A = this chain, B = another copy of it.
Amino acid sequence: MDPSDDQTACFEAGIKFGSLYHQFAGTPVSPASADSLARAMEEAIENQPHCESVTVEVLTDELSAELSDSAADYTELTGQFLDVEMVIDYEDTEVHTRMDMQDGYPLMRVEDIRAKD
């Protein structure tokens, strides 16, 4: 069966999450460089088709906590330092998605699917 518009919208939303995560995971990051990385992630992924908006927060409190136990002053970006929201817009469907930590794992999920007015 061919996908419906809302199924394609969900597929497109997933592509953006996988892209964002695997493009940027591993980037050296510190509290001081968190903001420029978050902006670059947003603007990079917003280039992709049907991507209405991306909001990335790099969790500097979590970064600082991790680094306080460490001899290093930076670490590598992983999901534990990220809170991401995205809105995908495909034909008449809008998909709202989010990634944040749930039970110790970064969970990507669809929060809302709505028909546009």
Contacts and interface: CB of A to CB of B under 8 A. Distances in A.
A77 to B, nearest CB: 9
- State the copy count for this chain: 4
A44 B15 contact: no
A62 interface: no
Contacts of A74: 47-48
Interface residues of A, number: 56
A19 B10 CA distance: 15
A32 to B, nearest CB: 7
Interface of A: 1-3, 6-8, 10-23, 25-30, 32-33, 36-37, 39-48, 71-74, 76, 78, 97, 103-105, 108-110, 112-114
22 contacts: A2-B112, A3-B110, A3-B113, A6-B7, A8-B10, A10-B10, A14-B15, A14-B16, A16-B18, A18-B18, A18-B20, A22-B26, A25-B25, A26-B26, A27-B40, A33-B43, A36-B44, A37-B40, A39-B40, A40-B40, A47-B74, A76-B78
